[in-house]
Copies of this chain bind each other. A is one copy, B any other.
């Protein structure tokens, strides 16, 4: 934990240093907040631990919540990039979106991305303001992606709500998958996460036709 990642070469010393303090802030924040709770540690505590001024913190992150959500946000940013790059292969829009997300997960090859996401999600589960921040980021991702879709794909009606619903569905399934994956025993890595994603995606089509059966209706069928 709090591993000092060797930033990619090919960057100037300045850029590497900046990346390193950014990583240090993320790692230390996850450790600190996981141990003492999100409200149990102040920003000053965090900055002191990383030996950085509060001013510097806010040059790297927009809020106290933001630093903890960085791992998940990285994934969603990779997703929007994939949407821009990949060519649709003749399948449905939902399949296109799912492929893009799986490709994005595949790019999260930082060795402790899974650990960080787990810590992050567990914190979010018991910190309303963090969860709200995460949801808002997802919503921003949806809007950005929607613009990309309209730019790259052809829809009959520019006001058709279905592309947007498809994106919402993708995000919902992802959150579903992540929730179960986070608490999986033995804490498996991103391959297992991809598996949960596929399972959640597979459940989508029959969601629409799922019947509402009252509880207590015997299989025999009286009532």
Which A residues form the contact surface with B (CB < 8 A)? 87-88, 90-96, 128, 131-133, 135-136, 139, 151-155, 159-166, 168-169, 171-173, 176, 180, 199-200, 203-217
Interface of chain A, main secondary structure: helix
Q: Give Cα A204 to B171, complex, Å.
A: 15
Query: Are B165 and A94 closer than 8 Å at their CB atoms?
Result: no
Complex: chain B residue closest to A62, CB-CB: B128
Between-chain CB contacts (< 8 Å), 26 pairs: A88-B212, A91-B211, A92-B208, A92-B209, A92-B210, A92-B212, A93-B210, A95-B212, A131-B136, A132-B132, A135-B135, A160-B203, A161-B199, A162-B203, A162-B206, A162-B210, A163-B210, A164-B172, A164-B176, A165-B173, A165-B176, A165-B203, A168-B169, A169-B169, A169-B207, A172-B172
